Amino acid sequence: MHETLRIKIDFLKERQRPAEIFQAMSSYIEAYEAIGQVMVGSLGAQGEFALRLEDVETGSVASVLKAVPGRLKGWFETAVFESSMKLAEDLAGLESTTTEEEVDQLASGIEAELAKFNDEQMFAPKIDRKAFAHALNKLSEANKRLLPEESASASIVESENVTAINTHWRFNANPKEMFQGTTETKGCVDKLYVRAPVNIGKGAWAMLSASTNNRYNAKITDLPWLEQYQDGSIAPIGPRDVMEAEVSIEIYSPPPGKGKPFISGAKVVRVLQIHRDVGLQHETKPLF
């Protein structure tokens, strides 16, 4: 099924500078196309993500949009639309996004959402952080065109699930100057508290390293272990249990003076053992 995106702006009646409402709608459509293209690229698709206007609703200003048919497989469109709703939810509680690490955290959340649509022929989603920063900047520019009393929302028509767009959120950085640092991959054996396991699918698990005190999301690429855990052959991991595992960690280091290094990606390559009810407490060692 080809899903339908609806973007709605509730504007002030008798508003001054009415052209800004239509400029804002145009900017939201461009922003969602840019975000969608970043997501499609992260899934390894070669096609272009573009929206086609289906209808314009009156009363408020609402655009009803579908992906241009024939350019992408249907499940790609579904993954992009559903993950766009997740992004709107993630931005709901934020006033602004400024740093590379904040962009990375948003991208990681979208990667985890996209992974829910995984099939055996698709590799793990990997969002281009710099392109994502540019797309976020477009969304921020759309927000700026609305007055503080005005609001906007996005929804998938078929599900009737409406998500408010946080029109007060701003992207306070220059995307052209972001993500110019280096990324290094390190392998190690770590002991991990599992903050949020994934019981269905291959999405990233939220982890806390008992060794370094770093929080990060990690995909479980030890598929035989993951299958046994998800089918119940391995007992659920509790809050005082610790996973000992071989992990591969990507560490992004900004240029000098541009911020601190942070973990931009991680994988659990092999689960070695689950230590039950140990609640490890010991001196932590910095990873970087």
Is the domain of 43 the same as that of 19?
yes
- pLDDT tens by residue, 130-186: 999 999 999 999 999 999 999 999 988 877 778 999 999 999 999 999 999 999 999
Contact 268, 246 (CB under 8 A): yes
Query: What was the pLDDT predicted at 152?
Result: 95
Is the domain of 125 the same as that of 190?
no
287 or 128: which leads in pLDDT? 128
Is the domain of 226 the same as that of 248?
yes
Q: Is residue 185 part of a domain?
A: yes
Q: With a cut of 60, say whether residue 287 has pLDDT above it.
A: no
Residue 267: which domain range?
Answer: 180-275
Q: Is residue 53 part of a domain?
A: yes
Domain end (from 161, 176, 191): 176
Is the domain of 24 the same as that of 158?
yes
Is the domain of 99 the same as that of 202?
no
CATH code, domain with 249: 2.40.50
Structure token digits, residue 118: 């995984």
- What does the alpha-carbon distance between residue 242 and residue 167 come to, in Å, rounded to a whole number? 41
CB-facing half-sphere around the CA of 110: CA atoms within 13 A: 29
Q: Please compute the mean of the pLDDT values over residues 36-41 and round it to a whole number.
A: 88
- What does the alpha-carbon distance between residue 137 and residue 31 come to, in Å, rounded to a whole number? 8
Is the domain of 28 the same as that of 76?
yes
Q: How far is CA 18 from the centre of its chain?
A: 33
Helices and strands counted in the chain (H then E): 5, 12
- pLDDT tens by residue, 218-264: 989 999 999 999 999 999 999 889 999 999 999 999 998 888 899 88
Q: Is residue 288 part of a domain?
A: no
Is the domain of 241 the same as that of 118?
no
Query: What was the pLDDT predicted at 82?
Result: 86
Closest to 171 in 3D by CA, of 142, 149, 150: 142
Q: Is residue 285 part of a domain?
A: no
Q: Is residue 282 part of a domain?
A: no
Domain end (from 176, 197, 214): 176
Is the domain of 118 the same as that of 25?
yes
Is the domain of 134 the same as that of 108?
yes
- What does the alpha-carbon distance between residue 262 and residue 256 come to, in Å, rounded to a whole number? 14
- pLDDT tens by residue, 93-139: 899 999 999 999 999 889 888 887 765 445 578 899 999 999 999 99
Helix intervals (H) in 121-204:
129-144
Domain end (from 154, 176, 198): 176
Put simply, whether the predicted model's pTM sits higher than 0.85 gets the answer: no
Is the domain of 172 the same as that of 184?
no
Q: Is residue 284 part of a domain?
A: no
Contact 192, 243 (CB under 8 A): yes
Query: What was the pLDDT predicted at 284?
Result: 47
Is the domain of 156 the same as that of 187?
no
- What does the alpha-carbon distance between residue 255 and residue 179 come to, in Å, rounded to a whole number? 9
176 or 68: which leads in pLDDT? 176
Q: Tell me, what amino acid is at 147?
A: L
Mean pLDDT of the chain: 86
Q: Is residue 207 part of a domain?
A: yes
Q: Tell me, what amino acid is at 188?
A: C
Query: What was the pLDDT predicted at 46?
Result: 67
Is the domain of 205 the same as that of 166?
no
Tally of structural domains, the chain: 2
**Token match 């992260």: residue?**
42
Indicate if the alpha-carbon torsion angle 149, 53, 113, 35 is positive or negative: negative
Q: What phi and psi, each to the nearest 5 degrees, are found at residue 222? A: -80, 80
Q: Is residue 264 part of a domain?
A: yes
